[in-house]
Structure 1
Amino acid sequence: MPTTLLIRKDRLADTRLREAPDTPLAEGQVRVAPETLALTANNVTYAAFGEQMDYWRFYPSGEDGWGIVPAWGFGRVVQSLHPGVAVGERLYGYWPLASTAVLQPDRLSAAGFREGSPHRAQLHGVYNQYQRCCSDPFYAADSEREQAVLRPLFATSWLIEDFLADNGFFGAKRILLSSASSKTAYGTAFFLARRSGLDVVGLTSPRNVAFCEGLGCYSRVLTYDALDTLPAGEPSVYVDFSGDAPFRRRLHERFQESLKHSAAVGATHVGHLGGAKGLAGPPATLFFAPAQSAKRAEDWGGAGFQLRLVAGWQDFLGHVRAKQWLTLRTHAGPQAAATQWQAMVAGQVDPREGHLLAWR
């Protein structure tokens, strides 16, 4: 029986597995079986900002108070009533944590298609694009599992660094990154480290200091309680991957007007989320990767943007492999997915590991 993992929207650690038969396809639809999905802190961010950023709307659960978290990865077409999409095709894209997904392909090309279901028409286009693996410039069979885990996080990292550079780093030389052991944070640090003259400071918990230092992409690594050792008068930028509201307030109060920009990106510290009103210094501004992506596609053209992004991916993946930063773990079946989700929400995940869900 097809199974879906439901998440309680107001208590993210609460899950339920729902079994229900697949609904018949309408003309023009396809059914895809997700095969290799990544579960990272990124997915927790989707849930934490599910209402604010419309993440719950991609795959509506149909049940009040419960949502379906989307995840990036690979799936195979198992049924098709669309002449342009063949059974057996493998696709990269944005899937539900479920046995199957129904898509309505639109704007087809050799590269892929857009998901054209009416309920997704107002949602951001980046999440509605599905790439055919046979023509995807990112795709290589020998790196598929790494792509599932790192590709969306890499894209966010690359775009954060590009956004900061595009804005002259807001006049700052010191970039502070919280949750420095998270993959999106150290991906950002990897690209920042290639810029001369920047002091890239990783902020993390004591247990992750050695790991972050071993990455070799931070100028220095500090524990959260060592924040006050940094000179407060130096122009700085804060990139927040943790979502930890009390720490964000403390950081703003320390640096005040020396803080030139404060970017809210992630929510790895689910237990400490909160509002950002009344902060000293600049407001905390949500960084939305698709907006920077759209800007650069306009600046460089779609093909130029894609070339730069793929080159960045190959560079980053080569470094991850050379430094052996990542050990991949696969969790088979819906119950294993639920267990791993709860561990992710609780922050009980080794930063050296990347987690994959094999639904079937």
Structure 2
Amino acid sequence: MADEIPTVQILDKKNYFQQALVPFPDALPYPPLGPSSLRLRTSVLSLTVNNFTYAALGSLRNWWDVHPLPAGTPAPYNDSARYGRISAWGYAEVLESTVPSIPRGSHLWGYVPLGTLAQDLAVRLHDALPDQVFVTDAYRQHVMPIYNRYFVYAPSSDRRDAIARKEDAVAHDAILRIMHATAFLMADFAFSSSASRVVAPSPGPADADDDANNAWTAKDADLSGATVLVFAPGSKAAVIFASLLARRKGEAEGRPRRIVGVSSEASRAFVQRTGVYDDVLLTSAVDPVAAVAAAAAAKADSGSGSRRRVVVFDFGGRAGVGPRWAAKLAETHPANELLFVGVGSEVLDPSVVSQVAASLRQTPPYPATRASVDDMRRRVMKNLGEEWYWAEEGRSWEQFRDRGIEGLGVSWGEGMQDVIKGWDRLARGEVLPSEGLVYKL
């Protein structure tokens, strides 16, 4: 495999449904590796709706910059104004190393490029967490910290063999681990029932003048007795978030009165099969207000109260259905009884990206916020400590890693040709929420 001609996926930035699998026949042999560096080759990656979000908003969020076009990219793909690379979550194998504590044969989990061409990254070890490293290359320092953080698994760990066997837990690492991080931060902190853990979900500056965090209170975070509506309830992050809320035992632990998925007809069966929602409504409901009132009338448990608060979590409902429902609910719910939380995005057609970006800058006719994973994590680590945070997230993830999501099937592919086919299937809307796409390279 090491002697095969490396290939990478390259996208048209304006029409990221258009892709090319570009070979690099002159890349081998690789040059000598620099100091404090790792030569990495992607070994496992997943494809989800997130990949299209990275492409759609890549210029706005600097996602095109994480893995730039490689040296020697042939024309016309060497035009970085038009073409670029988007990344995925998964594992990379260490082919060569000049970092003594990370030998050849180790694996790193994190944000990996779509391709078999090796990349050289300069890294530094974490001061207190031996299983984490940070990329120090200058061209990546303006991106969010999570994209430069990698988790290290030594050759003696079980990851190498687990990857070779294509175990479900490895697939879950690629498909679900980053989704779990979003859900964990929202459920256990931004909407925590413990006032000492509460942080704001929204973006804000990394300094003492973090007005967004200062303004967010335990009352804002309190979901006890409320009706929670989840749009795109079959998305991986949504299912994990709902699962974390459903585990709460009654109002004293902040359990919502009802956790309601609002789904398309096509996804309804899978959403119900996950077993984490108290009810599932259809997005086609003629009267959203009446549908929500009927769902809220049934008690989640004997301890549920009669609180009228409705909190809408939009993980990427299609065609703006979440905001439309929120606007209708605003007609009958005062501002203190309604909150809209934007979390994710649907697969965006390139032709509507500018419209969606513009809508994010508009003030809606109801109370609203948007979840920022990087800002939530930064606030938690500032308040409670970085080592404590990663230990807590790790413990929570291990509860999901082996079993995954009820009803979610793992579909393994092999090689970059299968990755290209999977990208096309996602672009055409052919991948159901019940299917997880993961690839071994």
Does the pair score TM above 0.5?
A: yes
Deviation at 1:217, TM superposition (A): 0.6
| Residue type at the aligned position of 2:429 | G
Instruction: Provide structure 1 residue ranges, at least 5 long, that are not aligned to the other structure.
Output: none
| Alignment partner of 1:224 is 2:283 | yes
| 86-95 vs 343-352, greater mean Cα deviation | 343-352
1:136 to 1:245, Cα distance in 2 relative to 1, 3 A: farther
As a proportion of its length, which structure holds more strand? 1
| Residue type at the aligned position of 2:281 | L
CA–CA distance in structure 1, aligned partners of residues 41 and 402 of structure 2: 30
Native 8 Å contact 2:53 2:347 kept in 1? no
Q: 1:267 aligns with which of 332, 336, 345?
A: 345
1:72 to 1:134, Cα distance in 2 relative to 1, 3 A: same
Deviation at 1:59, TM superposition (A): 0.8
Q: 1:336 aligns with which of 418, 434, 438?
A: 418
DSSP 3-state at the match of 2:109:
strand
1:25 to 1:108, Cα distance in 2 relative to 1, 3 A: farther
Aligned equivalent of 1:152: 178
CA–CA distance in structure 2, aligned partners of residues 124 and 251 of structure 1: 32
| 112-121 vs 165-174, greater mean Cα deviation | 165-174
1:77 to 1:8, Cα distance in 2 relative to 1, 3 A: same
1:126-275 alignment, distance < 5 Å: 126-134=146-154, 141=162, 143-162=169-188, 163-165=190-192, 166=198, 167-168=218-219, 170-172=221-223, 173-195=226-248, 196=250, 197-198=255-256, 199-226=258-285, 227-228=288-289, 229-231=291-293, 234-242=308-316, 244=318, 246-256=320-330, 257-258=334-335, 260-271=338-349, 274=356, 275=359
Deviation at 1:318, TM superposition (A): 5.2
| Alignment partner of 1:106 is 2:124 | yes
Aligned equivalent of 1:308: 392
Aligned equivalent of 2:112: 95
1:134 to 1:77, Cα distance in 2 relative to 1, 3 A: closer
Native 8 Å contact 1:111 1:135 kept in 2? no
CA–CA distance in structure 1, aligned partners of residues 426 and 220 of structure 2: 32
CA–CA distance in structure 1, aligned partners of residues 33 and 170 of structure 2: 31
Instruction: Provide structure 2 residue ranges, at least 5 long, that are not aligned to the other structure.
Output: 70-77, 193-197, 199-217, 295-306
| 215-224 vs 268-277, greater mean Cα deviation | 268-277
CA–CA distance in structure 2, aligned partners of residues 318 and 76 of structure 1: 22
1:240 to 1:222, Cα distance in 2 relative to 1, 3 A: same
CA–CA distance in structure 2, aligned partners of residues 315 and 108 of structure 1: 25
CA–CA distance in structure 2, aligned partners of residues 88 and 148 of structure 1: 19
Q: Please identify the structure whose Cα radius of gyration is greater.
A: 2
Q: Deviations over 1:159-201 (max 9, x none)?
A: 1212122344545512211111111110111001123341211
DSSP 3-state at the match of 1:270:
coil
Native 8 Å contact 2:49 2:347 kept in 1? no
CA–CA distance in structure 1, aligned partners of residues 401 and 323 of structure 2: 35
| 165-174 vs 43-52, greater mean Cα deviation | 165-174
Native 8 Å contact 2:315 2:342 kept in 1? yes
Q: Deviations over 1:34-92 (max 9, x none)?
A: 11111122222222221222211111235222221111111111123444542222111
Aligned equivalent of 1:18: 22
The CA RMSD over aligned residues, in Å, is 2.7
CA–CA distance in structure 2, aligned partners of residues 269 and 145 of structure 1: 21
Native 8 Å contact 2:191 2:222 kept in 1? no
| Residue type at the aligned position of 2:44 | T
DSSP 3-state at the match of 2:110:
strand
CA–CA distance in structure 1, aligned partners of residues 102 and 222 of structure 2: 49
Native 8 Å contact 1:213 1:221 kept in 2? yes
Native 8 Å contact 2:230 2:312 kept in 1? yes
Please give the TM-score of this superposition, normalised by the length of structure 1. 0.89
Deviation at 1:209, TM superposition (A): 0.9
Count residues with an aligned counterpart: 356
Q: Deviations over 1:117-139 (max 9, x none)?
A: 10111222222111111399997
Please give the TM-score of this superposition, normalised by the length of structure 2. 0.74
1:9 to 1:240, Cα distance in 2 relative to 1, 3 A: farther
Aligned equivalent of 2:135: 115
